[in-house]
């Protein structure tokens, strides 16, 4: 349930409401907007009749039940959009953020070269997987901690923040030491133990829609992280599995405006895993900008033919530079869709 405070509500009145809600066993999520404070009370539905009595406390304007199953992710629970700050980068703040880099960290040379290219092209965040969730146990599984160390070195050299995947709840602390943003991959989107663990961490989390996950299920996964205490969640549409076989997955571009309507969280698009083919990355990346996404995540490799994973969908440096130029040009002419679709 949402408790909307009066514009005139004092800090003491807000504190009193928070204490009262907590005494009923609910978790409190405070959202101090420019206009007024909204207090989310999340917990067991059974006590909701008692909770409604909060309306009689001073400073409370009204209570509003959140009808959606994803309470904290829902637009109802927050005024405006969530903007996530990663060093100097703002995700969800109106500029189109580009996260780029190789699928996997493969060697010192490959990672330093990738960082150089990504930085030169003007990307905001460097990606690279040290733990790789692979369909086959015989495929390259990632360099693990060694890979994290290379990512750290790449960050030092390029100045770019790092996003990297965590696949195991037991590795969350380790990955947190190195990463600026956690990535939860499509295959782990309903690994609830992992979601709760990153929910307790202190770094933002990008979650990728699973190939068989509905938009509502994706938002429920975000809810696991939010309700565990981490309010910094970024959603990523990376293609879903359909009957179509011409592309690796089918990019569900309509997920972007749908998510923008339903949630205050930033939404980005991954055209590399969606298409599985570098040739389609450029048009789909431009499409993401046009449709109102907050950014993209793309795979770029200094030598895709030699990549240990996802070489087919990775852009060569020259192609990446061309795309970045086009995106920056487009960004000047496209009005950012920040208004919620009614």
Q: Which residues bind ligand PEP (CB under 6 A)?
A: 103, 129, 133, 185-187, 208, 238, 270, 273
Q: How far apart are CA 226 and CA 235, in angstroms?
A: 12
Residue number with CB closer to ligand PEP (41 or 151): 151
* Part of the chain binding Mn ion (CB under 5 A), chosen from 102-110, 151-159, 214-222, 319-327: 102-110
Taking the complex as a whole, how short is the minimal distance between the CB of residue 328 and ligand PEP, in angstroms? 24
Taking the complex as a whole, how short is the minimal distance between the CB of residue 334 and ligand PEP, in angstroms? 25
Q: Which of 21, 54, 91, 103 binds Mn ion (CB under 5 A)?
A: 103
Using CB under 5 A as the binding rule, whether residue 310 contacts Mn ion is answered as yes
> Of all residues in this chain, which one has the CB nearest to ligand PEP in the complex?
185
Residue number with CB closer to ligand PEP (95 or 191): 191
Residue number with CB closer to ligand PEP (103 or 289): 103
Residue number with CB closer to ligand PEP (219 or 274): 274
Residue number with CB closer to ligand PEP (9 or 219): 219
Using CB under 5 A as the binding rule, whether residue 165 contacts Mn ion is answered as no
Residue number with CB closer to ligand PEP (75 or 187): 187
Using CB under 5 A as the binding rule, whether residue 106 contacts Mn ion is answered as no
Q: How far apart are CA 224 and CA 239, in angstroms?
A: 22
Residue number with CB closer to ligand PEP (271 or 317): 271
- For 154-180, the DSSP string reads HHHHH---EEEE---GGGHHHHHHH-S
How many distinct helices (H) and strands (E) make up the chain? 11, 14
Q: How far apart are CA 336 and CA 120, in angstroms?
A: 25
Pick what 185 binds: Mn ion, ligand PEP, none; C-beta below 5 to 8 Å, kind-dependent: ligand PEP
Pick what 226 binds: Mn ion, ligand PEP, none; C-beta below 5 to 8 Å, kind-dependent: none
Pick what 186 binds: ligand PEP, Mn ion, none; C-beta below 5 to 8 Å, kind-dependent: ligand PEP
The tokens describing 64, both together, are: 């509003």
Helices 317-333, 108-121: crossing angle, 10 deg rounding: 30
Taking the complex as a whole, how short is the minimal distance between the CB of residue 62 and ligand PEP, in angstroms? 41
Taking the complex as a whole, how short is the minimal distance between the CB of residue 327 and ligand PEP, in angstroms? 20
Residue number with CB closer to ligand PEP (257 or 276): 276
Taking the complex as a whole, how short is the minimal distance between the CB of residue 186 and ligand PEP, in angstroms? 4
Q: How far apart are CA 280 and CA 272, in angstroms?
A: 8
Residue pair 28/18 in contact by the 8 Å Cβ criterion: yes
Comparing C-alpha atoms, which of 276, 186, 286, 283 is closest to residue 236? 186
Taking the complex as a whole, how short is the minimal distance between the CB of residue 299 and ligand PEP, in angstroms? 7
Pick what 102 binds: ligand PEP, Mn ion, none; C-beta below 5 to 8 Å, kind-dependent: none
Q: How far apart are CA 165 and CA 182, in angstroms?
A: 6
The tokens describing 61, both together, are: 């304007």
Residues with Cβ within 8 Å of 307's Cβ and at least 6 positions away in sequence, in order, are 102, 103, 104, 106, 301, 314
- For 266-309, the DSSP string reads -EEE-HHHHHSSHHHHHHHHHHHHHHT-SEEEEEB-SSGGG-SS
Q: How far apart are CA 307 and CA 75, in angstroms?
A: 41
Per-position x/- string for 266-305, each x denoting binding to Mn ion as judged by CB under 5 A, each - no binding: ----------------------------------------
Pick what 251 binds: ligand PEP, Mn ion, none; C-beta below 5 to 8 Å, kind-dependent: none
Q: Can you give the C-alpha Rg of the chain in angstroms?
A: 21
Residues interacting with Mn ion, by CB under 5 A?
A: 103, 310
């Amino acid at each position: 349930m949402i408790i909307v405070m009066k514009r005139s509500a004092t800090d003491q009145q807000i504190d009193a409401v928070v204490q009262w809600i907590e005494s009923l066993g609910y978790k409190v999520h405070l959202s101090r907007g420019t206009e007024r404070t909204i207090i989310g009370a999340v917990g067991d539905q059974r006590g909701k009749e008692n909770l409604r009595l909060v309306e009689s406390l001073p400073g409370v304007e009204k209570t509003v039940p959140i009808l959606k199953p994803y309470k904290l992710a829902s637009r109802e629970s927050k005024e405006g959009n969530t903007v996530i700050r990663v060093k100097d980068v703002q995700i969800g703040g109106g500029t189109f953020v580009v996260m780029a880099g190789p699928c996997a960290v493969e060697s010192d040379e490959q990672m330093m070269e990738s960082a150089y290219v990504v930085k030169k092209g003007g990307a905001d965040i460097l990606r690279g997987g040290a733990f790789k969730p692979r369909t086959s146990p015989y495929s390259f599984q990632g360099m693990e901690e060694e890979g994290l160390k290379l990512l750290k070195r790449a960050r030092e050299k390029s100045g770019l923040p790092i996003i990297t995947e965590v696949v195991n709840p037991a590795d969350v602390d380790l990955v947190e030491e190195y990463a600026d943003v956690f990535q939860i991959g499509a295959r782990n989107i309903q690994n609830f133990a992992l979601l709760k663990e990153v929910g307790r961490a202190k770094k933002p989390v990008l979650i990728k829609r699973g190939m068989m996950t509905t938009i509502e299920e994706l938002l429920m996964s975000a809810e696991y992280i939010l309700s565990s205490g981490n309010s910094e969640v970024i959603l990523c549409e990376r293609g879903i599995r359909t009957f179509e076989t011409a592309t690796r997955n089918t990019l569900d571009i309509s997920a972007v405006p749908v998510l923008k309507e339903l949630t205050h969280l930033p939404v980005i698009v991954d055209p590399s895993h969606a298409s599985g083919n570098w040739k389609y990355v450029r048009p789909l990346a431009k499409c993401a900008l046009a449709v109102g996404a907050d950014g993209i995540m793309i795979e770029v490799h200094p030598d895709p033919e030699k990549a240990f994973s996802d070489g087919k969908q990775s852009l060569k440096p020259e192609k990446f530079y061309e795309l970045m130029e086009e995106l920056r040009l487009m960004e000047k002419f496209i009005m950012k869709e920040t208004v919620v679709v009614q």
